[in-house]
Amino acid sequence: MGKERYLNTKFWDDNYIVDKDPIEKLLFIYLLTNPLTNIIGIYEIALKRIAFDTGIDKEMVLKILKRFEEDNKMKYFNGYIALKNFTKHQKNNPSINKGIENIIPEIPIELLEWVNIDLERFEIPEDIKQEITEYRQTVTACTQTATYLNTNTNTNRNRNRNTKNVTSNVTPVTKIFNHWISKNIYNHRKNVYQSQIKTALKKYSEDEILTAITNYEIILHGKEYFWSYKWTLGDFLKNGIDKFSDLQIAKDNYKNNKNNSKKSQDDILKEWNNEKE
């Protein structure tokens, strides 16, 4: 039996919707009403499915989703769609609340943090509440630091000390994990790699690990590179930091060209394993 999704007639008078073109309106409605939606407004759906159902080219779907995210309406992250204000429009009754509570443990923490959801309204496990709180602290601290650096290009040593104080409540382990999650590489529901991160930090600096993760994401998602193998964070910490520490070298190694096309990802992985032996 199909789900029922009701679209308020005020939808068409909404100032945001009025300014959208027909394709954007179609995609917005589809993401509100397609068969994979759920009661919390955060659900998994493939871009291929969206493109097929709507008839909108996949590349155009990505462009429109990016606009929706920039407008703070919805977000596409690691195969999930998150609707910013979906739960605000759900009735506050025991049945609906229970349904949302059952789904919450399955949702990536960064999306629970991003959407507008009243945590006090629902009976959420304390460990999940703690995760959301810690993630919000990290996001806030990083935003404050970025703002500080952008507005103080000629900072002196005292100001630099102030910048460090802004992020002092966020541990390197947490920053590295959240940086990994933000890159849409491999989604981890919880940080089960704390010991591996601490081990990596004994060999590499925090900045070296963050840079390697950023470089890996560039190669992994870049169309001009043939590399598409996705490590877990634990595997990356063991195998990938040295391989992606230098962006230019990584680009040269994995760029699509006649020489590299003869070597498969499996061949490269075998070479890396042999190096460790």
DSSP 44: E
Backbone angles phi, psi at 76, to 5 degrees: -110, 120
Per the prediction, the chain carries an average pLDDT of 81
Q: What is the pLDDT of residue 118?
A: 76
**Quick one: what percent of the chain has pLDDT higher than 70?**
78
The 10 Å Cβ neighbour count of residue 177 is: 22
Show the domain range for 81: 9-121
Which string of b and e fits 179-192 if b means at least 16 CB within 10 Å? bbbbbbbbbbeebe
Q: What is the pLDDT of residue 157?
A: 47
Q: What is the pLDDT of residue 273?
A: 54
Secondary structure (DSSP) of 212-234: HHHHHHHHHH-TTB---PPPPHH
Query: Of the candidates 82, 106, 121, which is a domain's last residue?
Result: 121
Query: Would you say residue 147 has pLDDT above 50?
Result: yes
**Mean pLDDT throughout 169-186?**
84
Query: Of the candidates 99, 121, 143, which is a domain's last residue?
Result: 121
Query: Would you say residue 172 has pLDDT above 60?
Result: yes
- Assign residue 47 the CATH number of its domain: 1.10.10.10
pLDDT tens, residue by residue, 68-127: 999 999 999 888 999 998 888 777 888 888 888 888 888 887 788 888 877 778 777 777
Q: What is the pLDDT of residue 253?
A: 86
Number of structural domains the chain divides into: 2
Does residue 14 sit in the same domain as residue 117?
A: yes
DSSP 38: -
Query: Of the candidates 84, 106, 121, which is a domain's last residue?
Result: 121
- Whether 128 is in a domain gets the answer no
Of residues 165 and 33, the one with the higher pLDDT is 33
Query: Would you say residue 204 has pLDDT above 50?
Result: yes
Q: What is the pLDDT of residue 20?
A: 94
Q: What is the pLDDT of residue 167?
A: 46
- In the structure, what pLDDT confidence band is assigned to residue 244 with cuts at 50, 70 and 90? very high
Query: Would you say residue 161 has pLDDT above 50?
Result: no
- Whether 14 is in a domain gets the answer yes
* Beta strand pairing call for 74-77 and 80-83: antiparallel
- Whether 132 is in a domain gets the answer no
- Whether 234 is in a domain gets the answer yes
Q: What is the pLDDT of residue 143?
A: 58
Q: How far apart are CA 154 and CA 132, in angstroms?
A: 34
Provide the angle, in degrees to the nearest 10, between the axes of the packed helices 172-182 and 126-151: 90
- Whether 20 is in a domain gets the answer yes
- Whether 261 is in a domain gets the answer yes
- Whether 43 is in a domain gets the answer yes
